[in-house]
Chains A and B, each alone.
Chain A
Amino acid sequence: MSGTVKFALALTFLAWMAGTAAARVKGVCSNCHTMHYSQGGLPLAEWGASGPYRALLVNDCIGCHTGKNTATTRTPYILTTGSEIKYGTTGTESETNTLAAGNFWWVYDGNTTGNRSDAKGHNVVGIALEDQTLHNTPPGGSNLNHRLTCAGTYGCHGDRTIVDTLGAMMGAHHADDSTLDGTTVGKSYRFLKGVVGLEDPDWEYRPKNNEHNQYKGVDRTDEGNLDPTTISYLCAECHGDFHTGNDISSGSWGSPWLRHPTDYDMGNTPSGSEYRNYPGPYDQQGTYSVVAPVASEDVTQVISTVTFSKDTIITCVTCHRAHGSPYWKLLRWNYFGWPTNNEDDVNGCMACHSAKN
Chain B
Amino acid sequence: MDAWRVIALRISHFLLAFCLLGGLKAEAGSYWRSAHGSYANGVKRNNRALYNKGNCGHCHDQHGDYGGISNGGPFAFALYANPFNTNASPGNYQKADAFCFHCHTNGTDSEQNGGIVNEDYSKTFGGYSASGKNNILSTFNQRSYHDLEDVYNFAKNSFPFFTSESSPCVACHNPHLARRVKADPGNPAANTAISRPTAHDTLWGDDNTSTDKETMYYFYQGRYQAPYAYGGTNSYEPGGTSTYDGHNLPDYATFCTDCHNPGNTIYSTSLGRNLIKIDWSTQGGESGPGDKHGRNSATTSLGVKAPYANAPIGITLGFALSCTDCHEPHGAPNPYLVRSEVNGTQISIPNTSTGNEIGYLCLACHKDDQAYGVSTTPNHWRYAHHTATDHPYPQQQCGRCHSGGGMGGTPIPCMNCHMHGKDDSYLGSSSTGRICF
* Chain A residues close to B by CB (< 8 Å): 119, 133-134, 137-140, 241-242, 247, 250, 255-260, 272, 274, 276-277, 285, 328, 335-341, 343-344, 349, 354-357
Contact present for A250 and B33 (CB under 8 Å) = no
- Contact residues in B for A277 (Cβ distance below 8 Å): 24-26
CB distance from B60 to the nearest CB of A (A): 8
- Contact residues in B for A250 (Cβ distance below 8 Å): 76, 165
Q: What are 21 inter-chain pairs, A to B, with CB distance below 8 A?
A: A134-B68, A138-B68, A139-B65, A241-B64, A247-B74, A255-B77, A258-B73, A259-B74, A272-B23, A272-B24, A277-B25, A277-B26, A335-B57, A336-B57, A339-B32, A339-B37, A349-B56, A355-B176, A356-B176, A357-B26, A357-B31
CB distance from A110 to the nearest CB of B (A): 24
Query: Knowing A336-B50, A336-B55 touch, does A140 contact B30 (C-beta < 8 A)?
Result: no
The digit string for B23-50, where 1 denotes a CB below 8 A from any CB of A, is 1111111111100011110100000001
A285–B30 Cα distance when bound, in Å, is 19
The digit string for B237-269, where 1 denotes a CB below 8 A from any CB of A, is 000000000000000000000000000000000
Of the listed residues B33, B50, B62, B176, the one surrounded by the most CB atoms of chain A closer than 10 A to its CB is B62
Query: Knowing A339-B39, A343-B29 touch, does A133 contact B67 (C-beta < 8 A)?
Result: yes
CB distance from B25 to the nearest CB of A (A): 7
Chain B residue, CB-CB nearest to A248: B74
Contact present for B163 and A139 (CB under 8 Å) = no
- Whether a CB of chain A sits under 8 angstroms from the CB of B271 is no
Contact present for B64 and A258 (CB under 8 Å) = yes
Contact present for A259 and B78 (CB under 8 Å) = yes
- Whether a CB of chain A sits under 8 angstroms from the CB of B52 is yes
- Contact residues in B for A137 (Cβ distance below 8 Å): 68
A314–B163 Cα distance when bound, in Å, is 23
- Whether a CB of chain A sits under 8 angstroms from the CB of B336 is no
Contact present for B54 and A339 (CB under 8 Å) = yes
In the complex, which residues 339-380 of chain B have their Cβ closer than 8 Å to any Cβ of chain A?
Answer: none
- Contact residues in A for B74 (Cβ distance below 8 Å): 247, 258-259
In the complex, which residues 150-206 of chain B have their Cβ closer than 8 Å to any Cβ of chain A?
Answer: 163, 165-166, 176, 201
- Whether a CB of chain A sits under 8 angstroms from the CB of B220 is no
- Whether a CB of chain A sits under 8 angstroms from the CB of B51 is yes
Query: Knowing A241-B63, A276-B24 touch, does A341 contact B56 (C-beta < 8 A)?
Result: no
Number of B residues near A (Cβ < 8 Å) is: 42
Give the residue of B53, B55, B163, B165 whose beta carbon is less than 8 angstroms from that of A335. Answer: B55
CB distance from B192 to the nearest CB of A (A): 17
- Whether a CB of chain A sits under 8 angstroms from the CB of B393 is no
Interface majority SS (helix, strand, loop, mixed), chain A: loop
Give the residue of A241, A242, A256 whose beta carbon is less than 8 angstroms from that of B165. Answer: A256
- Contact residues in A for B50 (Cβ distance below 8 Å): 328, 336
- Whether a CB of chain A sits under 8 angstroms from the CB of B21 is yes
Query: Knowing A328-B50, A339-B32 touch, does A259 contact B64 (C-beta < 8 A)?
Result: yes
Contact present for B78 and A257 (CB under 8 Å) = yes
CB distance from B416 to the nearest CB of A (A): 46
Give the residue of B51, B67, B75 whose beta carbon is less than 8 angstroms from that of A258. Answer: B75
Give the residue of B32, B77, B166 whose beta carbon is less than 8 angstroms from that of A257. Answer: B77
- Contact residues in B for A340 (Cβ distance below 8 Å): 39, 52
- Contact residues in A for B52 (Cβ distance below 8 Å): 336-340
Chain A residue, CB-CB nearest to B160: A270
Give the residue of A242, A344, A356 whose beta carbon is less than 8 angstroms from that of B31. Answer: A356
A321–B77 Cα distance when bound, in Å, is 24
Contact present for A343 and B28 (CB under 8 Å) = yes
Of the listed residues B27, B32, B37, the one surrounded by the most CB atoms of chain A closer than 10 A to its CB is B32
- Contact residues in A for B39 (Cβ distance below 8 Å): 339-341
Contact present for B201 and A355 (CB under 8 Å) = yes
- Contact residues in A for B31 (Cβ distance below 8 Å): 355-357
- Contact residues in A for B68 (Cβ distance below 8 Å): 133-134, 137-139
- Contact residues in B for A258 (Cβ distance below 8 Å): 64, 73-76, 78
CB distance from A65 to the nearest CB of B (A): 27
CB distance from A326 to the nearest CB of B (A): 14
Beyond A133-B67, A259-B74, A338-B55, 19 additional pairs, beta carbon < 8 A:
A133-B68, A247-B74, A250-B165, A256-B77, A256-B163, A256-B165, A258-B78, A260-B63, A277-B24, A285-B21, A335-B56, A338-B52, A339-B38, A339-B53, A340-B39, A343-B29, A355-B31, A355-B201, A357-B26
A139–B24 Cα distance when bound, in Å, is 35
A138–B63 Cα distance when bound, in Å, is 12
- Contact residues in B for A133 (Cβ distance below 8 Å): 67-68
Give the residue of B28, B55, B75, B76 whose beta carbon is less than 8 angstroms from that of A357. Answer: B28
- Contact residues in A for B32 (Cβ distance below 8 Å): 339, 343, 357
- Contact residues in B for A134 (Cβ distance below 8 Å): 68
Contact present for A256 and B176 (CB under 8 Å) = no
A335–B74 Cα distance when bound, in Å, is 21
Contact present for A256 and B76 (CB under 8 Å) = yes
- Contact residues in B for A355 (Cβ distance below 8 Å): 26-27, 30-31, 176, 201
A241–B52 Cα distance when bound, in Å, is 27
